[in-house]
Structure 1
């Protein structure tokens, strides 16, 4: 897992080299041969579902189009409106829940698969397939596949908006330039995490539960951080939009409770952080200057605070190692979920 976290800047650069030149021209979308769409429906599980939420949010934020995310195991019976593009995301392309959702789901909606293996079962059964091209990933807890899914999915959204006339080419080029900054941002975030996380990990090693908070584009990254911690440290971790604190989760906060905040400079977060501190919670912020772990952020970035995911991954990994667990092979889990 440590090696795959380190490989993320290289994987992102390789992916952008492959698809970056085809985004702002609309080619990335046009080459798929799919019809114009007015909304997106993401069907996925786990980390892929979190990546799908980032992609769908980019569509809404950049193009003003609606999106929804459906857990694949609960997709049966869901209603798909006309003009919907269904995006099924699976790292392996063999995820049983996703394949069953494809077989039993409503017909008539074009389906695009976003996978790490275009020759997988899912890749062969859909209308079009797009590779996240992350390369082999051995660790059960996904890292570089998440980053690559987010990058190629966001690039796809930009390309589709250009191809449909909903975004001008000049704006698309500016957004693609932001994407090209991601490899360096990931590397800088990893360096900051290596320097700053060890004492924080030692401080929270005895905690039994964690809260992860974000707002807007940061919510999906909070969810991914909580999932990583659960997967490899066996500690309870829950993610919420920060505005939900007073609607229940704040009751969980007591003296010393670790609360990890994805701080992408949303002005409303200051009040949420103050609420946690007033209850004795231990705030760890990841993001803007002045955070516990500063990472490079572009407020105009099409996929939100992606660099924040690196310290989140490294926090989970560092805590798992500190507790003596095998981060590569967490208990009860498998890399490819082939039963539902």
Structure 2
């Protein structure tokens, strides 16, 4: 079994740990009313996107999600939160080195004593959710569990949802699809982006992601009988019929969208196995992007 498969299966316990951690009120998380930027790269960016929408919808303050490489360091925020599993990503370190001292800074990472801590007022370490696989699974979802709990959401049932996700059937013959599209709305756009990234990384498969309403504005043209369209959360009115009219296979959300992401992770790892690929070491990727 790959490390990615083992780490995917460990998510219920990791989420329980994150709920306990949130109850201890770790320092550095955004306070109500603060103007917040959340920065990340790849998977971490997509978790930032989900969190930003959830925080704003909870009425807790303006929240922007930025790719670390595109973060406008001259823009004023009360707090900047960096998400980095390794705490070594070049773009994260560059951005945090500029804003540290001008705004409150927090890094959420899986590695104690990582370089990002040097540019952070506070650090939250999720070392229990660290991963050996290059492909991230449990770290981002554990992080999101912590953040959702801090927002005041009732996440007590999430671990049980994750357990269900580990045993529910996946779309039939996923390897037979020419391409896969993941759709979301609101906070689940970030989850759809992450699901597509997992399929690309692990299985080198054609996977895309869009806000569900935007899918109508062009991307639906690629859908046919060899396509799988997977919706995270509730589908907008009329979209189900429009997707089915293309002949594409439609997968609707059966669980909390975060738990649904676990099912997508499983599909990506299964696709990798069927294609004789190693999800722990995807082509051209490393655990952390460190630029010279």
TM-score (norm 1): 0.79
CA distance in 2, matches of 1:69, 1:117: 22
Q: Is the 8 A contact 1:132 1:152 kept in 2?
A: no
1:111 equivalenced with 2:78 (yes/no): no
Equivalent residue, structure 1, for 2:267: 315
SS in 1 for 2:213: helix
Distance 1:137 1:275, change over 3 A: same
Q: Is the 8 A contact 1:80 1:109 kept in 2?
A: no
Return the offset for 1:314.
0.5
Distance 1:321 1:33, change over 3 A: closer
Return the offset for 1:244.
0.2
Equivalent residue, structure 1, for 2:37: 41
CA distance in 2, matches of 1:221, 1:322: 24
Relative to total residues, which structure has the larger helix share, 1 or 2? 1
CA distance in 1, matches of 2:243, 2:74: 39
Count of matched residue positions in the alignment of Structure 1 and Structure 2? 289
List aligned pairs for 1:1-340, cutoff 5 A.
1-17=4-20, 19-22=21-24, 27-28=25-26, 31-32=27-28, 38-75=34-71, 77-82=72-77, 84-105=78-99, 108-156=102-150, 158=151, 172=152, 175=153, 178-192=154-168, 196-197=169-170, 200=172, 202=173, 204-262=174-232, 264-266=233-235, 268=236, 270-285=237-252, 287=253, 294-295=254-255, 297=256, 305-339=257-291
Q: Is the 8 A contact 1:73 1:98 kept in 2?
A: yes
Report runs of 4+ in structure 1 exceeding 6 Å deviation.
33-36
SS in 1 for 2:36: strand
SS in 2 for 1:191: coil
Return the offset for 1:78.
4.5
Return the offset for 1:100.
1.5
Return the offset for 1:104.
4.1
TM-score (norm 2): 0.91
After superposition, the C-alpha distances for 1:43-79 in whole angstroms (9 at most, x for unaligned) are: 100111111122212211112522111111222x454
Distance 1:211 1:36, change over 3 A: closer
User: Where does the alignment leave 5 or more consecutive residues of structure 1 unmatched?
Assistant: 159-171, 288-293, 298-304
CA distance in 2, matches of 1:209, 1:179: 33
After superposition, the C-alpha distances for 1:59-113 in whole angstroms (9 at most, x for unaligned) are: 11112522111111222x454235x311111001011111122234586122111
SS in 1 for 2:102: coil
Distance 1:74 1:32, change over 3 A: closer
Q: Is the 8 A contact 2:108 2:125 kept in 1?
A: yes
